[in-house]
Amino acid sequence: MSSVRRFLRRHLRGAVGGALFAAVLACAALAPWIVPHPPGEQQLLGRLRPPAWAARGDRAHLLGTDHLGRDLASRILFGARTSLLIAGSGVMVAGLVGVTLGIVAGYRGGAADLVLMRLVDVVLAFPALLLAIALLAAFRPSAASVVGVLTVTGWVTYCRIVRGQILVLKQEDFVVAVHALGGTDRRLVIHHLLPNLVPVILVIATIQLAQFILAESALSFLGLGVPPAVPSWGGMINEGRDYIWNAWWIETFPGLAIVWTVSGIGLLGDWLRDLIDPRLRV
Amino acid sequence: MARYLVRRLASTLFAIWAVATLVFLIVRVTGDPAVLLLSEQYTAEDLVRVRARLGLDRPLTVQYLRFLAGVPTIDFGRSYRFDQPARELVTERLPATLMLAVAAFGLAVVLSVPAGALSAARRNSTVDYAASFLSFLGFAMPIFWLGTMLIIVFGVFLRWLPTSGSGSWRHLVLPAVTLATFPLGQFTRLVRSEMLDALAADYVRTAHAKGLGEGAVLFRHALKNAALPVITLMGLTFGTLLGGAIITETIFAWPGLGRLVIQATIARDYPVVQTVVILLAIVFAAINLLVDLAYAALDPRIRLA
């Protein structure tokens, strides 16, 4: 195989994934300036309009309107913000908690390690969705409660993998050297161990972002996510369910937005993983 | 083996206890369930009466011990919404959920083994690329959207299959396909990678050298050796399928546990939520345990470690 083909094979997924994801990021960032209509604007006379290219389509509404006459395209663009904001916050909080506890477990060892690993086993022992439902039964649906349940189910991945990495790193010569030179634990962790963990954390975070976008949309679809007034892809698909017999577009386009976004991030994650550590199980 | 068994059993019981405790705490920390049962204008006497009926007037430790005593029999009192024990509501609906999960699981297993084996045998062929593309789509598509699209295509436009409810095998087709898609992709990917490892082994070269046909090499020699990790993943996935069934049931109005627990969650019908969560947690933990034990029985390296 020529080197050009090998290069393409190695990096094609990264390029495609990056392009798909960049487009979503741009939409989310620019949503307020590029949407044709405010996402909450209702036009009761223009309800359930099909997409612009269909027979009864309206050129002002490219992807049609929903049951309240709201512009579907505008809501999908704003939905990108909801998705990325919630899933992104979830990844960050879960990452912060998981990495910190993973370092504690791996570096300190002993009782802290034992307790933390038991806790990880417990969370991993049950389907994440079930755990999320049990938690959401007690909290009012909001962006914060969704981020909360994503954190509770998501920190374990970082904790488990970071702990394993630390156990390996602890055997390295540079750790002995830092100690020999009088470096504190704090200095060792922040300046020497953490930088070594960054690539792995990046891989986990990317793959988890895709998973969290799916999870957020599923919770919103079930009515357990953000309140209905906030445009979210899962919530839109939920609202459109009563109209599937005469308005297929309400269900179709928000789902395509999810598939687009998750595919992009997923490809990016697979590519990163193969570059950094193909055997990493996330 | 005995020591391994005891250790695994202990950690399973610990996990169930931890989830039960978590569920108990969440409900108590986030407000008084008695208030939720009363209408907007309630008197102090009403509150006392309802709290006494639910046992909420007892000390927290007593409540906790009574709650734990309910775990083995999965008995957490009567539903707030229906005048019926929560366990009855749940066990009535369990068979429908199991039927859906088993159908989807069977579908995923039956399709993924040949698909994965063929992808590995014809690496980098069109079949291989098609299979990995479809597996990837299975990952990227939200299950509730896939279900809705199937309803629109096969129910609304083609009118081939019923789109909701249960009763005949025709009702089962769309929910089972929806639920099977994600595990199908996962299994196919794993069968493929395990088969690639197995096909690179010396005994496969020997089998070829002694003149065995390709089918025999692929399915009798390589597949057998690739089976162990695949069986493990499949076993663990069955529990996750029960979680996915919750969403699938909501889309197709399938009368199982999923719809019950979602409605109970929205209405804060805690006894029902607790019953479903603890029941599924026990089922899930039991499956994990069985998979681990089967693995240990099949592979001496694990039970001796």
The answer to whether residue A241 neighbours chain B at the CB level (below 8 Å) is yes
What residues of A are in contact with residue B279 (Cβ under 8 Å)?
none
Test the B interface: residue of A130, A135, A259 with most B CBs within 10 Å: A130
Interface probe for B, chosen from A126, A250, A258 (most Cβ of B below 10 Å), is A126
Within a domain: residue B266?
no
Minimal Cβ distance to A137: which of B136, B244, B273:
B273
- Whether residue B299 has pLDDT greater than 80: no
d(CA B75, CA B241): 24
Q: Is residue A1 predicted with pLDDT exceeding 60?
A: no
Residue with the two structure tokens 């929903």: A66
The model carries a pTM of 0.86
- For tokens 């030179």, name the residue: A181
Question: What angle do the packed helices B223-252 and B270-298 form, to 10 degrees?
Answer: 170
- Going from the N-terminus, what domains does chain A have, and what CATH number goes with each? 14-32+58-281 (1.10.3720.10)
Residues of chain A positioned with their CB less than 8 A from the CB of B140: 210, 258-259, 262-263, 266
In terms of Cα–Cα distance, which of A125, A127, A103, A212 is closest to B257? A127
Q: Quick check: A221 and A254 in contact, CB under 8 A?
A: no
Dihedral sign from CA coordinates of B135, B108, B256, B169: positive
* Domain annotation covers residue B162: yes
CB contact under 8 A, A224 and B265: yes
Pair of tokens at residue B221: 């020699």
Q: Which of B12, B136, B145 sits opposite A237 (nearest CB)?
A: B145
pLDDT tens for each residue of B17-75:
888 888 888 777 766 667 766 766 777 788 888 778 777 778 888 888 888 888 888 88
State mean pLDDT over A81-106.
95
Average pLDDT over residues A101-107: 92
A136 touches chain B (CB under 8 A): yes
Q: How many domains does chain B have?
A: 1
Supply the CATH number for residue B220's domain. Answer: 1.10.3720.10
Residue B174 within any structural domain of the chain = yes
Using 50, 70 and 90 to split pLDDT, how confident is the model at B200?
confident
**Interchain pair A217, B247: CB under 8 A:** no
B304 has a pLDDT exceeding 60: no
Is B240 a domain residue?
A: yes
In a domain, B17, yes or no: no
Mean pLDDT of chain A: 88
Measured in angstroms, the CA of A190 and the nearest CA of chain B are apart by 33
| Predicted confidence (pLDDT) per residue in A52-86, tens digit | 787 777 777 888 888 887 888 889 999 999 999 99
Task: For chain B, give the mean pLDDT.
Answer: 82
Residue B278 lies in a domain: no
For residue B138, give its domain range: 94-257
Put simply, the answer to whether B18 touches A135 (Cβ < 8 Å) is no
- Can you tell me the ipTM of this complex? 0.87
In a domain, B51, yes or no: no
**Taking CB atoms and an 8 Å cutoff, what residues of chain B touch A271?**
none
A135 CA to chain B: closest CA distance, Å?
7
For A233-273, write each residue's pLDDT tens digit: 999 999 888 888 888 888 899 999 999 999 999 999 989 98
Measured CA to CA, the distance from residue B53 to residue B40 in angstroms comes to 19
Q: Would you say residue B193 lies in a domain?
A: yes
Q: What is the pLDDT of residues B225-271, one digit of tens each?
A: 777 778 877 877 887 788 788 889 988 888 888 888 888 887 778 88
Distance from C-alpha of B85 to C-alpha of B77, rounded to nearest angstrom: 6
User: Per the structure block, which two tokens stand in for A90?
Assistant: 């979830």
Set of chain B residues whose Cβ sits within 8 Å of the Cβ of A241? 148, 251
